[in-house]
Every structure is written in structure tokens, then in C-alpha cells.
Amino acid sequence: MVSYLKFIRVNKELIIRSNSSAVDFALLKDGKLIELNKEVDNNKFSVGDIYAAKIRKPVSGLNAAFVDVGSEKDGFLHYHDLGPNLTTLLKFFKLVSSGRIKSYSLKNFRFEKEIPKDGSIEDYIKTQQHILVQIVKEPISTKGPRVSSELSLAGRFMVLIPFSDRISISQKVESNAEKNRLKKLVKSIRPKGFGVIIRTVAKDQKVKELDADLQQLLGRWKNLCEKFVKVDQYPSKILSEINRSSSILRDIFDNDFTGIHVDDPEMQVEIKDYLKTIAPDKESIVKYFKNKSTPIFDHFGIERQIKTGFGTTVSMQKGAYLVIEHTEALHVIDVNSGNRSNKAKSQEQTALEVNLIAASEIARQLRLRDMGGIIVVDFIDLNTNENRKKLFDHLRKEMESDRTKHKILPPSRFGLIQITRQRVRPEMSIKTREPNPNKNGEVEAPIVLIDKINAELDKIVEHRHNKKKQLHLHLHPFVAAYLTSSFPSIRSSWYLKHKKWVRIVPRDAYFYLEFRFLDQNRRLLRTK
């Protein structure tokens, strides 16, 4: 039985929804939503972006400096984020900007002495000084971005670090033999002056694939240097992180992927081109979602999962549920057994069963909401050390697939488990409660909504620009069911009246009283 389970494959699908202002990425594991990302066009300060910045002011009390990167709030540069080879970096790019260095290889470049680990920032950084920095933490709430002058370029199999000679490897590669093999391979292809961090996905890869990834990163380094030469104002963005679709695929893609579904033909081509470079045999799994009437997130049941997964209360199997509360300082998660209490042989067994279910859901929720900082989980009390260890080990196992850096502490005396999870971008927050449509606490009679839809339909049908267009009515599933039920249905009466068929599209994302008439290309139909 055990040997059989090893061969059970997990099905992963990436669903990508695009519109004019943003692109949404939903990662499904066996049909269940486990990650949700959004790429916004106007996001100027993404993790990985490199800027030619200007030092605003060093602050000795913080041993840090505030840096002008063009953000509303200044970037924060701590002494420990300067990197040991700061003086080498400053020297190199000074020579690059003056044109004295034409080749951007570090093979023959003489490194300066490393700065001390516990020095003072004022000894190395001055007001109005120009410096190259990289975004390591996006602006969150009232805080500006956190930046580092220790540059790194992330690829599929490795991370390239200029002005370093260190080769390190992901701790998730457990086999010593594989670690030694990878280090040996990378050492043979690594150019002098560049350090390398070998990523987990490099496991079992051949030197050809590793070298191709390295050459791509060296190309980005050359591009960075060439752009820096042309900088004529500070601050200025020098190099952007690759687009979110490619960066997400770079970080999460593996052989378990069975489908990548896209509703934009241009993005389909873009993703196919990227897959050609990292996994040519998987190019065929990229599919264009052609259904114009039903939105892609509704088709794959993602909107429904978003509505049920982002509220304060999260339901789980067997009647158990979580209560998730957010404060400025930390996140608090309470585990409740619900109506499960009377269904097990003993209270201890019930508590353990609910806690194990909750641990799996908590690991999913942390990824889904991208919760960072301190998370305190109040599990149901367990009396035996054996069961507490079983719960702790299960939570750690469920968290293994989380790419974000995290740490889990053993249960405290009070049965609390504390988790710290790195926060590099704002938390994914989605409002699941609907606003009251009427300020006095009352709602119009539902039949009035039908009158509004009828009136809107009359205007649309009469408009000359809509004569040859298909009519798609998008609205809440409950109202959609009402319009299509019985015989003859309300929709049938519309056809008899206007000689025009209205396609009803149930939308899980819509409020009860929300509706829109769209054409076959999902454009709003004119009424005036």
C-alpha cells in the first residue's frame, strides 16, 4: 500500500485571468485553490527590481539609511543589507558609468576589502550618494520598500550573486551525494567573481540545463550594466523582475503540472515561449480558454473558493471551522470543532482529528492569503505529549511546500503554536462580506430588481449599436436560477418580446443585487 501511494501524482493547474488593469493567477492542487497572486500594471516596486537610487539620509541611531527610489515613502536600507562587498560594488559601477569598463565580466576585476559585519553605516554611506539597490520587500501599509545593495539575479535553477565567490545550496536538497554533484557541476561552469545559490528545483538536473540558466542570468547582468551606463537621473529603475507570469512559473513549475489555462491569447504565446526554455515537453499543457460567455475563474470554480476561503470564518470538513483575525501586530487563528464533538470515541481523539484537519487548512490559508509576520494558532487542547508531537509534525509537513521562508515553534504550555512567516509584499486581502445596498438597513423587494433588469434590457435592445451583438446577462447564481426556472421562464418572455435570446451567466463573484449586460467579448453594452 505504501509503495503504491508513492506513485499517486498530484495534479496542479495554473489558471490565469487577465483584464486591462491586472492579471490574476490561481494555483489549483487537485482542484483546490492553494495560491492566489495578482500582477498590477502600476506596481512599480516589485521584489527583485533594481534601482539606481539616491541616499536621502543615513541615521546612526538605526544604523540604516533612507533611500530615494521614487516611492512615496523612502526605501529603508539597513547596514546588514549593504552586503560585505559594498565597496567593490560602488567601485565597479563608478568605473562602468565613466566608461572605463566596457566588458562587464568580473574575471579580472580586483575586489576591495569586505566591510565589517558590525560597522557603522555612516562610515560607508553619505547623503546624496548614488547607489544601486534591489527591492527585497514591497511597500506595505505606511512603510516604504525595504532595499538591499547586495544584488542577486534569480533564475530557474540558481540565483546569481555578483561580487561573491560563494557556492551554496538549498537546504531542501537533502541527499549529500546530490549536493556534492550539484556543487561540482556549478563550480565547473561558474564564472569568476560571481557567487551562486543552487535552488531546490536544480535537483537531478544535468549540466546543460544548469549552464543554460546561468547564461540567461549573465545576459541579465550584462543588460543591467548597459542600462546603468545610460542613467541620467536618480532615482531610476534599471532592471525589472521578469513579468509575474514567468516568475511564478519559474518558482512553482514542476512535473506535476497538468494544465495552464489562459484567457488571453497574447499571454498564452508568452507562457509557451517561456516553457520552451524551461520545459519544452510541457509546452502542450498551455491552453487558451475560448469560452467568451463564462469567465475563466467561474468555469474552474475559483470565485466560489475565493468567497468561502477569505472570510473571517473558514469552514472545514466534518463540521470544524477556523476563525482568522488580523491585527497590526500579528494574526490569530482559532480552531473550533463545531458539531464534530459527539462523533468520536473520546474527547482526545476528537481534538486530535480536528487539529490535524485544521493544520492542513492553516498551511493552505497562509499561502492563499500570503499572511506574513507572527501567526498564533490556538489549537484544541491535547492532553498527551504523543498527540501534541503528532500535530506539530503534521503541521511542519504541510508547511514544507510553502516557498516563503517560515519557522514553526513547538506547542506552548497553553497549546498555542507560533509561526513566523516572511512578509515581502502586502497580504492578499479579499472582502467577502457584501455591503448593505440600503443605508437604512432595508432592502428593496427582490421583484424590483427584475423590473430594473427589464428596464435595462429594453434600453439595450433599442440601442442601434447593439442590433448585431449577442446579449449576455451576468448576475448572482440565485437570481440567474430564478430567471431561468419555471415554464415559461422570464428569459423566454424576453425572447418573445424582443426576438433576442439572452444568455444567462451565473457569477459567483457578484453581489445579490448586482447585474451587467455584456456582449460576446465581455464588453459592457450601451444603453445611451
CATH number for the domain that contains residue 18: 3.30.420
Confidence of residue 434 (pLDDT cuts 50, 70, 90): low
Domain assignment of residue 394, yes or no: yes
Task: Give exposure, 300-309, as e/b (b: 16+ Cβ within 10 Å).
Answer: bebbebbeeb
Predicted TM-score (pTM) of the model is 0.69
> Percent of the chain at pLDDT above 90?
36
Number of domains in the chain: 4
∠ CA 21-155-131, nearest 5°, is 80
Domain assignment of residue 457, yes or no: yes
466 lies in the same domain as 375: no
250 lies in the same domain as 217: no
CATH number for the domain that contains residue 73: 2.40.50.140
pLDDT digits (tens, 9 = 90+) for 139-149: 887 788 999 99
Confidence of residue 6 (pLDDT cuts 50, 70, 90): very low
Confidence at residue 383, expressed as pLDDT on a 0 to 100 scale: 87
- For the chain, state the CA radius of gyration: 28
SS (H, E, C) 170-191: CCCCCCHHHHHHHHHHHHHHCC
End residue of a domain, out of 205, 239, 273: 239
Domain assignment of residue 249, yes or no: yes
Distances in whole angstroms, Cα of residue 493 to Cα of each of 190, 486, 490, 520: 72, 11, 5, 21
Q: How far apart are CA 149 and CA 77, in angstroms?
A: 8
End residue of a domain, out of 386, 421, 456: 421
Domain assignment of residue 525, yes or no: no
Task: Give exposure, 233-251, as e/b (b: 16+ Cβ within 10 Å).
Answer: ebbbbbbebbebbbbbbbe
Confidence of residue 437 (pLDDT cuts 50, 70, 90): low
12 lies in the same domain as 148: no
343 lies in the same domain as 261: no
275 lies in the same domain as 365: no
Q: Is the pLDDT of residue 278 over 50?
A: yes
Q: How far apart are CA 82 and CA 412, in angstroms?
A: 37
Confidence at residue 182, expressed as pLDDT on a 0 to 100 scale: 93
End residue of a domain, out of 303, 319, 336: 303
pLDDT digits (tens, 9 = 90+) for 181-207: 999 999 999 999 999 999 988 888 889
Q: Helix and strand tally (H, E) in the chain?
A: 13, 24
Domain assignment of residue 441, yes or no: no
Domain assignment of residue 426, yes or no: no
Domain assignment of residue 528, yes or no: no
Rounded to an integer, the average pLDDT of 365-383 is 90
Confidence at residue 4, expressed as pLDDT on a 0 to 100 scale: 40
Rounded to an integer, the average pLDDT of 122-148 is 89
Query: Going along 105-179, which residue ranges are E strands?
Result: 130-137, 146-148, 153-154, 158-162, 167-169
Q: What is the per-residue DSSP string for 444-501?
A: --HHHHHHHHHHHHHHHHHSGGGTTS-EEEEE-HHHHHHHH-SSS-HHHHHHHHHS--
Please give the residue range of the domain that contains residue 417.
310-421
CATH number for the domain that contains residue 384: 3.40.630
